[in-house]
Amino acid sequence: MKALDFPNNIQIETTSRCNATCGFCPYPEVSTTQPQGAMDQDLFERLIDEISWHRVQLLQPFLNNDPLMDPQIVPRLELMIRKNPRTRICVTTNGSLLRAPIARALAAMPLEVIHISSNGLTPGVYRATMGLDAWPILHNVNVLWDEIRRRGSKTRLVVTAILMKQNQREVERMRDYWRARGVEFFLNPLNDRAGNITTEKYVQLLPFSNDLAQSQFRETRMTSCASIYSFLGILWNGDTVTCCQDWRRTHMMGNLRNTTIYELWHGLEYQRMRSYSDQGRLDELPLCSDCGSQRFSVDAGALRDMLARQNGNPDDWASLEFLESLKGDDSVVKQNLVRT
Ligand SMILES: C[S@@+](CC[C@H](N)C(=O)[O-])C[C@H]1O[C@@H](n2cnc3c(N)ncnc32)[C@H](O)[C@@H]1O
């Protein structure tokens, strides 16, 4: 497969930090072992400049962090947008730092979509899933939504939840709460972040019984991957990775302090990864070998059974609309998880 001349999908983390302690995310552990910090403004501006010379389709100001942890995120987003007016720019955040001034600033930007990662409605479930306080977040997101509507902005606001044991009894209420306000709500399946979540933890998080969970796993061999021909992940210090699941920097492609994105994209490290993929041997490499295994595939039938046992009336609850919502907007879901 021929790589694009320049990546068309770029994620840049302008800080490495996240303020949540989600039990389903590698961050709480990985942030204690990987270098942490914030991106220099010089490096940030140079990267945004270079990106603006190319036709990048999707640009996102986060990778393994929460973008609102960067105190400079508003001016940085404004620069990204000003320099890349034809690029789709999307923000994904847990919303806890989305205070009114930030909400107003985001609502004023021509962002394509703001995703709010939210895994509950009540304080107990919010704390159990993300270690965050529910009420301020619900308030923040409602303020943002009011502001988006007041401005008549075209930015989509999408709340996404991951279906897990800890929130399975609350997702229906979440769906009703957000959709009653006109906010899009999608449910995404859990995945093990290419082995970056231990199997033990992963199985505990799955919403099914152990037996049913085992029957949900799909062992897909990731012999080649579109990501390494189109995606670049840039960490706060300029290090680069080929995949948003590379939480432990398993495949570092080089550092952008000493080189350009273009040079790195055509450099030896990327060529090596692509040659494995071209030969259908990507799964011989670490990380890629774990990608595709232990994936939780949301099976509509199994989900319907689970919901029926839980709530009594599967037709009410596991409506087609709900199953449709499982198709969410997470690219992983689209690629190979959902079999409805
Ligand atoms: C890593 S976060 C970074 C952005 C931001 N901190 C947030 O919470 O939205 C990006 C997305 O990955 C999702 N995510 C994290 N761990 C996951 C897992 N094990 N399975 C599926 N999605 C996961 C989060 O819920 C969030 O929607």
> pLDDT by residue (tens digit) across 197-249?
998 888 888 877 776 666 666 667 888 988 999 999 999 999 999 999 999 99
Residue closest via CA to ligand 1's atom 17 equals 25
Say how many Å lie between the CA of residue 180 and the centre of ligand 1: 24
Res 317: pLDDT: 42
Q: Assess whether the C-beta atom of 167 lies below 6 angstroms from ligand 1.
A: no
Res 324: pLDDT: 55
Q: Assess whether the C-beta atom of 94 lies below 6 angstroms from ligand 1.
A: yes
Residue 77 to residue 83: CA distance in whole angstroms: 10
Say how many Å lie between the CA of residue 25 and the centre of ligand 1: 7
Residue closest via CA to ligand 1's atom 15 equals 25
- Closest approach atom of ligand 1 to CA 18: 6
pTM: 0.90
Which residue numbers in the chain have pLDDT < 70? Answer: 211-219, 293-340
Residue 15 to residue 290: CA distance in whole angstroms: 27
**DSSP for residue 328:** -
Q: Assess whether the C-beta atom of 197 lies below 6 angstroms from ligand 1.
A: yes
Res 337: pLDDT: 29
Element containing residue 60 per DSSP (H, E): strand 58-60
CA distances from 243 to 176, 203, 253 (A): 34, 23, 11
Residue closest via CA to ligand 1's atom 24 equals 117
Res 321: pLDDT: 53
Say how many Å lie between the CA of residue 202 and the centre of ligand 1: 14
Residue closest via CA to ligand 1's atom 1 equals 64
Q: Assess whether the C-beta atom of 25 lies below 6 angstroms from ligand 1.
A: yes
Give the max Cα distance, the chain. Answer: 60
Instruction: Render pLDDT for 89-125 as a digit per residue (tens, 0 to 9).
Output: 999 999 999 999 999 999 999 999 999 999 999 999 9
Nearest to 129 by CA among 86, 94, 102, 157: 94
Q: Assess whether the C-beta atom of 250 lies below 6 angstroms from ligand 1.
A: no
Enumerate the β-bridge partners of residue 232.
10
Residue 228 to residue 247: CA distance in whole angstroms: 16
Task: Report angle CA 260, 72, 184 to the nearest 5 degrees.
Answer: 95
117, 126, 206: residue to mutate for ligand 1 pocket, most atoms within 8 A of CB: 117
Say how many Å lie between the CA of residue 313 and the centre of ligand 1: 31
Res 95: pLDDT: 98
Res 334: pLDDT: 33
